[in-house]
Chains A and B, each alone.
Chain A
């Protein structure tokens, strides 16, 4: 079973994703793509870590090259989030650069082969009219393309609104 969760900032995606992953059960992996880059993000990471505490998740920090990741056992994987993974691949030294779309998609395919359930969190970065510099627009377009291609083949797609899942595709689990 796979689920793609989208929505804006602070719409309840993380909380819902964790609930869903726990519901799927089995060995629980949390793959964190957010790199600490100062006090604000460290606070966010700490907040997410606390939210997962005692729920039994094994946290794996993975910022790029997801396709080389090997999971020790099958189970349920929560990948959070594509907005960070995409930015890392595009802009980090050693990231995939212009091959970001295919690398991110290959990484997710590799996870799917190694687990029973996959919950992927992304972000709705294209909904504010754009008008940013070229680099930012490249990022918006790249993440948009990844979202479209994943949503096309994923069984379930939900949009989170004020903490409530809205069914876009598939069924609410």
Chain B
């Protein structure tokens, strides 16, 4: 599994396309028919408390794309803090198992782990 992270509009999906995946290969739903999962942070936000349960299915994907949401001022709303924390923890768990971790910076893929 390749974990692709980066800020909003940093070029994550373009990078995934450059790996040979069409937009049809990408989905934000955790089903069996798409090799690429995008917008992981939204999936986590739907149920932050139970997001670690997504891990086995995420590891079956070829590519997982997640927005980096942990930077900036810590949110005043508890639910927002928990969602951010849950996303970070899940990404740490994914990065541990991933063959590669790529971070997009202004459209440039930076290798974090390979």
- Expressed in whole angstroms, the Cα–Cα distance for A7 and B70 within the complex equals 8
Interface size class of B (residues with CB under 8 A): 20 to 34
A9 touches B92 (CB 8 A): no
Interface assignment of B91: CB less than 8 Å from any CB of chain A = yes
Interface assignment of A161: CB less than 8 Å from any CB of chain B = yes
Residues of B within 8 Å of A123, CB to CB, are: 74
Interface assignment of A140: CB less than 8 Å from any CB of chain B = yes
Interface size class of A (residues with CB under 8 A): 20 to 34
The 8 Å CB contact of A126, one of B72, B84, B101, is B72
Interface assignment of B113: CB less than 8 Å from any CB of chain A = yes
Residue from the set A8, A83, A132, A136 with the largest chain B CB neighbour count within 10 Å: A8
B101 touches A136 (CB 8 A): no
Residues of B within 8 Å of A128, CB to CB, are: 71-73
Within the complex, the shortest CB–CB distance from A71 to chain B, in Å, comes to 29
A residues whose Cβ falls under 8 Å from a Cβ of B? 7-12, 40, 83, 123-129, 132, 136, 139-140, 161-164, 166
Q: A127-B72, A161-B103, A163-B92 are in contact. List 9 more A-B contacts (CB 8 A).
A: A9-B74, A11-B70, A11-B92, A12-B92, A124-B71, A127-B71, A161-B101, A161-B112, A166-B110
B residues whose Cβ falls under 8 Å from a Cβ of A? 3, 5, 7, 68-74, 78, 81, 84-89, 91-92, 94-96, 101, 103, 110, 112-113
